[in-house]
C-alpha cells in the first residue's frame, strides 16, 4: 500500500483522441519530463516508472518462469549460468531504470497532428538501451544533401561499438557461444574487412533514401506490363576512417561476375557496376568516397546529384514535410512525402488484379493487401528521435489520429502464438502459466487499489467508505479481469481489493 501511495501522485490517466485533457498538477519529480510535452490538445499522459514497472514485471517474471520451466523439463538442458543471464537480462537492458514516461498529441494549425513521446531514465542509468543512441544531426541539413527527387529518407545511428561489446558479454554466459563468437570475429578480421571501422561508422550514422523521378518512367515488362516513376536508391555512410569505400570497391572488382568500371563525375572517382535489371532505363551500382562519406546510388544521375549537393546548401522538396517542426536534431529519423505509399498501393493492386478471379482466395489476398497498405498510410510522415538532458524524445508528425494513448493502468502483452503453442507441450509450461496468471492478477489488484486511493484523494473519502466499480473505473481505461476467471471485490477505502481465486492476493 505504501509504495502505491508514493506512486499515485505520479499517475495521470490519458485522455482519449478528440478530447481536451483536463488540467492536472504535475508532481515535482516529473516536471522536467512534463515540460517537454504539450499539456493541452488531443491526448496527454504521464506515468511514473515504478508504477509502469509494476505492470510490466509480472509478464517478464512469467516469461522467465517459462524459461526455467523448460529447463526443468527432460527435453532441454539449459546451463545454470544461462538461466542466471536470463534473470539478469531485464536489468542489464535497463527496463527497470525508467523514472517516468509521457506522451502528448496536439493538432497542427495547418492540419494533421504532432505527437511527442518522452522517456526519462533514472539518473546514472546503466542499462544497455540507454547507451544505444548514436550521433545526432540536423535532419533538414541531411535532406538538403539528397537528390531533389527524394520521396522518403531514413537516417539512423546506433552505438554499435557498445552494442557489440554487450553482445560479447552476453555470449560469455554460454561457453560454447562465446568461443564461436570469438572465432567469428577472428575470421572476419583475417579477411581484412574493416569491422571496427564499420561499427564506428554505424555510430556516426547512415542515411538511406528512396528517389521517385516522374520525368523518367520505368516500363515493367510482362507479366505486369505497367509504367511507374523511375525508382532510385541512395545511401550515405559516414566513413571517417576512409576504409569502407576502398574495401567495398576492391571486393566488387575481385568477386563481381560483371566488370566494374572506374569513372569520374566532376573530378571525383566513382566505381560503377551495371546491374541487369529488366527496366527501360540503366541501373548501375555507383560508389564514391568523398568528404569522409561513402556515397552509394543506383544510377549516374543520382550520384551526380549527390556529389553536387554534398555541402547541404541547396533546397529540397522533402523539406516541406518538416515545416512547423520545433526541433530537427535527431539520431534516428524518418521523413516521407507519401509518394512511396501511393506507389506501393498502385503496384500491389495491379499485381493482384492480374490473378483476380473472384474466388474467396483472391478476395482474401485483396483484403490482406488493403490492411497492409492501410498500415503504410498510417505511418507518420516524420518521426525524429534523440536524447536530450537525459531523456529520450521522439517527435512525430502524422495526418491521421493515432491510437488513443493508454495510461499506465493497463499493460497489454501480446505473446508470440507459435512460441506459446510449442511451449504448451513442455512439462514446465503449466507451472510457468500458473505463476504468470498469479502475477497478472496481482498487477490487476494493484491497479484497482491505485484507482481506489486516487478516488479517495480527489473526493475526500476516508477509511471505511465504500467504493463502487463506477468510482474505480473513472481512473482506469477498463476494469481488469482475473486471467484465471476469479472475481474482484473492491472493498472499502483502507482495505486491499481481493480476488476470489485462491492464491491471488496482494502481498502484505
CATH code of residue 320: 3.40.1000
Q: CB within 8 A of 327, min separation 6: which ones?
A: 384, 386, 395
Query: Which of 330, 362, 389 is a domain's end point?
Result: 330
- Give the pLDDT confidence score for residue 316 in this predicted structure: 93
Q: Are residues 230 and 270 in the same domain?
A: yes
Range of the domain at 312: 136-157+205-330
Q: Are residues 242 and 364 in the same domain?
A: no
Number of domains the chain contains: 2
Per-residue CA distances from 106 to 4, 6, 327, 394, 403 (Å): 31, 30, 16, 14, 13
Query: Which of 330, 352, 368 is a domain's end point?
Result: 330
Q: How far apart are CA 372 and CA 355, in angstroms?
A: 19
Residue 35: inside a domain, yes or no? no
Nearest CA to 173 among 100, 261, 52, 78? 78
Residue 129: inside a domain, yes or no? no
Residue 172: inside a domain, yes or no? no
Regarding pTM above 0.75, the answer is: no
Q: Are residues 225 and 316 in the same domain?
A: yes
Q: Are residues 308 and 216 in the same domain?
A: yes
Of 12 and 297, the structure prediction assigns the larger pLDDT to 297
Q: Are residues 140 and 249 in the same domain?
A: yes
Choose from 66-75, 91-100, 216-225 the range with maximum mean pLDDT: 91-100
Q: Is 508 helix (H, G, I), strand (E, B) or coil?
A: coil
Residue 497: inside a domain, yes or no? no
Name the pLDDT band for 249 (thresholds 50, 70, 90): very high
Query: Which of 321, 351, 379 is a domain's end point?
Result: 379
Q: Are residues 362 and 220 in the same domain?
A: no
Of 64 and 193, the structure prediction assigns the larger pLDDT to 193
Q: How far apart are CA 11 and CA 447, in angstroms?
A: 11
Name the pLDDT band for 143 (thresholds 50, 70, 90): very high
Q: How far apart are CA 133 and CA 119, in angstroms?
A: 13
Q: Are residues 258 and 345 in the same domain?
A: no
Residue 460: inside a domain, yes or no? no
Q: Are residues 303 and 271 in the same domain?
A: yes
Q: Are residues 292 and 314 in the same domain?
A: yes
Residue 52: inside a domain, yes or no? no
Q: Are residues 292 and 316 in the same domain?
A: yes
Q: Are residues 213 and 343 in the same domain?
A: no
Would the pLDDT of 408 be above 60?
no
Q: CB within 8 A of 402, min separation 6: which ones?
A: 17, 105, 113, 115, 378, 396
Q: Are residues 251 and 310 in the same domain?
A: yes
pLDDT tens digits for range 328-379:
999 999 999 888 877 777 777 776 666 655 566 666 666 666 666 666 666 7
Nearest CA to 36 among 392, 340, 289? 392
Nearest CA to 382 among 336, 342, 316? 336
Residue 180: inside a domain, yes or no? no
Residue 275: inside a domain, yes or no? yes
**DSSP calls for 103-124:** EEEEE-TTSSEEEEEEEEEPTT
Q: Is the dihedral of CA 368, 370, 373, 374 positive or negative?
A: negative
- Give the pLDDT confidence score for residue 418 in this predicted structure: 32
Amino acid at each position: 500500500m505504501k509504495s502505491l501511495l508514493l506512486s499515485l501522485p505520479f499517475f495521470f490517466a490519458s485522455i482519449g483522441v478528440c478530447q481536451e485533457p483536463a488540467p492536472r498538477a504535475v508532481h515535482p519529480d516529473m516536471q522536467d519530463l512534463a515540460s517537454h510535452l504539450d499539456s493541452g490538445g488531443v491526448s496527454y499522459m504521464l506515468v511514473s516508472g515504478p508504477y509502469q514497472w509494476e505492470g510490466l514485471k509480472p509478464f517478464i517474471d512469467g516469461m522467465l518462469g517459462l524459461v526455467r520451466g523448460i529447463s526443468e523439463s527432460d527435453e532441454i538442458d539449459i546451463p545454470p549460468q544461462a538461466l542466471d543471464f536470463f534473470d539478469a537480462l531485464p536489468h542489464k537492458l535497463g527496463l527497470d531504470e525508467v523514472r517516468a514516461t509521457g506522451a502528448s498529441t496536439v493538432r497542427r494549425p495547418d492540419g494533421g497532428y504532432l505527437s511527442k513521446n518522452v522517456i526519462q531514465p533514472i539518473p546514472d542509468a546503466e542499462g544497455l538501451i540507454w547507451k544505444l543512441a548514436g550521433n545526432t544531426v540536423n535532419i533538414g541539413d541531411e535532406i538538403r544533401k539528397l537528390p531533389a527527387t527524394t520521396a522518403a529518407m531514413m537516417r539512423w545511428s546506433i552505438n554499435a561499438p557498445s552494442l557489440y561489446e554487450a553482445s560479447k558479454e552476453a555470449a560469455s554466459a554460454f561457453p560454447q557461444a562465446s568461443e564461436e563468437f570469438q572465432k567469428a570475429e577472428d575470421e572476419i578480421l583475417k579477411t581484412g574487412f574493416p569491422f571496427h571501422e564499420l561499427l564506428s561508422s554505424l555510430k556516426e550514422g547512415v542515411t538511406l533514401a528512396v528517389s521517385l523521378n516522374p520525368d523518367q518512367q520505368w516500363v515493367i515488362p510482362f507479366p505486369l506490363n505497367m509504367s511507374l516513376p523511375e525508382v532510385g536508391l541512395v545511401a550515405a555512410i559516414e566513413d571517417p576512417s576512409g576504409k569502407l569505400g576502398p574495401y567495398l570497391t576492391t571486393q566488387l572488382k575481385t568477386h563481381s561476375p560483371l566488370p566494374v568500371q572506374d569513372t569520374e563525375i566532376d573530378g571525383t572517382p566513382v566505381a560503377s557496376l551495371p546491374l541487369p535489371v529488366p527496366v527501360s532505363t540503366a541501373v548501375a551500382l555507383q560508389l564514391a568516397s568523398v568528404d569522409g562519406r561513402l556515397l552509394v546510388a543506383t544510377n549516374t544521375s543520382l550520384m551526380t546529384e549527390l556529389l553536387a549537393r554534398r555541402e547541404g546548401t541547396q533546397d529540397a522538396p522533402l523539406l516541406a514535410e518538416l515545416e512547423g517542426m520545433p526541433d530537427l536534431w535527431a539520431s534516428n529519423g524518418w521523413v516521407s512525402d507519401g509518394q512511396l505509399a501511393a506507389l506501393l498501393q498502385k503496384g500491389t493492386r495491379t499485381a493482384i488484379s492480374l490473378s483476380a478471379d473472384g474466388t474467396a482466395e483472391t478476395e482474401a489476398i485483396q483484403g490482406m493487401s488493403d490492411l497492409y497498405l492501410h498500415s503504410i498510410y498510417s505511418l507518420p510522415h516524420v518521426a525524429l528521435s534523440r536524447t536530450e538532458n537525459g531523456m529520450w524524445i521522439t517527435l512525430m508528425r502524422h495526418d491521421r489520429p493515432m491510437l488513443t494513448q493508454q495510461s499506465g493502468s493497463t499493460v497489454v502483452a501480446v505473446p508470440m502464438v507459435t512460441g506459446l503453442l510449442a511451449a504448451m507441450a513442455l512439462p514446465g509450461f503449466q507451472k510457468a502459466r500458473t505463476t504468470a496468471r498469479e502475477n497478472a492478477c496481482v498487477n490487476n489488484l494493484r491497479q484497482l487499489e491505485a484507482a481506489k486511493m486516487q478516488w479517495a484523494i480527489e473526493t475526500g473519502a476516508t477509511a471505511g467508505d465504500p467504493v463502487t466499480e463506477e468510482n474505480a473505473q473513472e481512473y482506469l481505461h477498463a476494469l481488469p479481469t482475473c486471467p484465471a476467471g476469479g472475481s474482484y471485490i473492491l472493498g472499502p477505502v483502507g482495505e486491499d481489493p481481493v480476488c476470489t481465486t485462491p492464491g491471488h492476493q496482494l502481498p502484505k
